[in-house]
Structure 1
């Protein structure tokens, strides 16, 4: 058998199956890896199902030595990102690899070659498939499983990418807070802010779901506009994500802040389905029977953690304490809902305002994810 690493594009249905199967085989012995549902993993890379492909393109590759698949990668071209930032950036995502430096470098080279063919001059990642999806390589915090919609990888991934010639672009921080009561000082501050800012924080109204979704999308896109790497979600992208997450939605954990009856901020938190997903073993059905779904539902009864995905405030309403009111409302709802632990973020390492708000709310850094960059000369 040849020792040479061969990288091939994903073309056939069999190629696609090998691409999708790799992480389940590669991480089977990882105690903290959470196997995603195969159906959702397939839809993410499907032009038929993922609204990203209405404007972007991606090419999938696998690396093998002999018949053994060692790694995979997606080269991603996002024209909306480049138009917004007047850039010529390419991206890579879906990166999974054995602890094999030759395979990792071959995958990075293949993705870079494809991106250069589109006149792109740099490559950033991992990004799956936009910065509104899973981002980064875990570089700190390997001792606990990832929360919902967050990646997990073995410790060798970062060194593999660095050995392949990539360098740090940005660190993303996840934060944690136990469900201990607020200290008296924080409660007084929140009460004063609510009175002074004349802001009302309310839960989402599921009876008005479509209109609420439009409000939340506007708040999300406006609140994060201008941040490093952020590209607003299209209506199709936001709707697809909402449909995916609605079955696990806890209405008390999705809060809208209003001032004068107008939405000015949003907080979106979700029960940590990752606590239950291992029970499904990657599939909701087996031989046509909903065995995984039944196991998932049974395991979901024990969920006691949550993830805060978004806390955002319109620029003109910042500095009034709206963020702190949203944090306070989220934490109160979490306590009343019986949750024992919350992870917040991710946040950019250099977003000093958000970092200060999180520390003021009693949060501490929990995990660090790293985005890498490489030039495409």
Structure 2
């Protein structure tokens, strides 16, 4: 796989970013405010948007996610993914599966019970978020942090396939079997394979096929350099436009619940903050231990810290109802994840500069 160069400083990286990319935290705050304003100013807007759904899949949020993921997936060099059989790649895949499916769910289970012992609905919602692993926004964070784009796409694809198989089983384990074994109160959990597979296929399969076709046709007709200079330059801004649109829709849909119960939101946010920080740090530590280099370590860290919030929200609404505490916890997930992972992009770029600095004799990267 071709990894981004690590020669440039953070300042050089920032200079190459567009105005939209460079001031992303500002635009995100404005999008949050716009969503809250829309939800408050237009009576019934939240109900109207919530009604635009197929099953438990929200069409407005779905549109934003598809718009967000397509340009990033059109950048991926799929041929390089297919050719990579290196031991380093196998170590990276193994580490990702352990971080995502052993450490991540167990950490969220522990945090939910430790910090929300008296709130069973919020606790259950957080565990559902912890079980929904990386898909959508991790592609944006990976791109902004100059991670290995092909490695990120591979990790997302592998974890998505694993998610179809593992989500229901782990949901039963963490929400029924393990609480019963430990003598804890349990609300139970029952989600069919199709509900999980449908969400994964829509929010990964559709943009993946579109991105691969765009790249394949574009490179064949224009050549690699012309495709990247002409096609990608035009469609790349759509990713962040989709991100901001998704944030506006989320706040417009749930703004009333968020502003009405700020203490509940704060209590849900605390374990999420700890979770994102610990998972990101674990990904960085494992990547350094395996000597993956900065680009792949960043890919590993962001795929470990990111969550598939659309799946978590869809499952919470489908099983417990749109007005449930579980659904509120699912919605708070991305509202906390977005600003936190934007901050972690800055942390990653700082680490990138240190990674490219020669280390003292006798140390290893």
**Fold conserved (TM > 0.5)?**
no
Q: Which has the higher helix share?
A: 2
Q: TM-score interval w.r.t. the shorter chain? A: under 0.3
Looking at both structures, which has the greater relative contact order when contacts are Cα pairs under 8 Å and sequence separation is at least 6? 2
Q: Which has the higher strand share?
A: 1
TM-score (norm 2): 0.24
